[in-house]
Amino acid sequence: MKTIIVTGGNLFQVAAAELADATQWIRIAQLNDISDPMLIGVVILMIPDIDQAAGGGIAAQ
């Protein structure tokens, strides 16, 4: 796991850049207790390790 600082944007872009899979945005959201994938202002995010088996972009029910 690592920490990054982003200015605006969205979790789809972050997941694509950091995890090589935009559909894994939900993993970043869950780890950071974020419900909205759109980011406003300066945000510090914890990024999970890459998991090729994860994906789908759907939160577990």
Q: Which two tokens stand for residue 16?
A: 């694509």
| Residue at 15: amino acid letter | A
Q: Total structural domains in the chain? A: 1
**10-61: pLDDT as tens digits:** 999 999 999 999 999 999 999 999 999 999 999 999 999 988 777 666 665 5
Range of the domain at 27: 2-47
What is the rounded distance in angstroms from the CA atom of residue 25 to the CA atom of residue 10?
A: 9
In a domain, 15, yes or no: yes
The pTM of the full predicted model, rounded to 2 decimals, is: 0.85
In a domain, 52, yes or no: no
Which residue did the predictor score with more confidence, 60 or 6?
Answer: 6
What is the rounded distance in angstroms from the CA atom of residue 18 to the CA atom of residue 16?
A: 6
